[in-house]
Amino acid sequence: MSAARTALFAAPVFLAACASLSGGGPTEYSARDYGLLSLGGTVDGPVGPAVEASWVWQGDSLGDLTGRVDCPAGTDPCDPRAEGEATVYTYVYRVTPGNDAINDDPFPRPEIVRRFDDVTVFATSFAPPGFTGIAGYSFGEAEAALGAGGGFRIERRPDDGGLTFRAEGGSEPWGTGETITFFYQSTQPPKGPAGGFLLEGGGYKASGVGPVPMD
């Protein structure tokens, strides 16, 4: 891809299954399977239909982050300017630790790409505006990386409203070369690529950029 564009993609709205944990702790959400979503077209931003970036730690790359946003099923092309206020957009992030493809401008890929094994957390450091309570990941990709029974617990943190996807179950650590797709849904269209994404585990805490909803 040429430069750093925003992409949108939205899916049908489901009823959120969530429960507040005791003691004023995080709110936990029932994960949805990305593989079962029915989605429409992707919004084509100023640099293309996806934002290609790196997970960066101390100037080195710890992997690849590709983000996009889609409209609901039946909407293609997807143009936020033509969509109504009831439109739900699906924000999708493909995460691959330890491998890093060429990035869009203005996100240069670091010269050094490190292996990144034992990844335990993918998270946003911001509260997604317009969050509908629907979030999830590819169940198939998660089991391929973590082993049978592996998945992610999804929580909204009480301190900053950010979303945390925490690996649990399975028999293997998530690591280098294993792609897992995450998503959440919002009633807000994207405002463009921005920071605020975190990938943690094995003593590392890498940061990344991707499409985020408008405030």
pLDDT in tens, 54-100: 999 999 999 999 999 999 999 999 999 999 999 999 999 999 999 99
**Residue 1 confidence (pLDDT):** 35
Query: What integer pLDDT is reported at residue 21 of this predicted model?
Result: 36
> Which secondary-structure segment (H or E) carries 116?
none
Q: In 3D, which of 89, 97, 162 has the Cα closest to residue 124?
A: 162
Inter-CA distances, 81 with 44, 146, 182, 204, 212, Å:
12, 40, 25, 40, 16
Q: Which amino acid is at 166?
A: R
* 3-class secondary structure, 82: helix
Cβ neighbours of residue 177 closer than 8 Å, sequence gap 6 or more: 96, 97, 98, 99
Q: What is the pLDDT of residues 10-42, one digit of tens each?
A: 333 333 334 433 347 999 999 999 999 999 999
> Which tokens in the block code for residue 170?
């399975």
CA-nearest of 67, 162, 158, 68 to 121 is: 162
How far, in Å, CA of 56 to CA of 3, rounded?
Answer: 18
Question: How many Cα atoms sit within 13 Å of 197 on the Cβ side?
Answer: 25
Q: Which CATH number fits domain 26-213: 3.90.1070, 2.30.230, 2.60.40, 1.10.760?
A: 2.60.40
Share of the chain above pLDDT 90, in %: 82
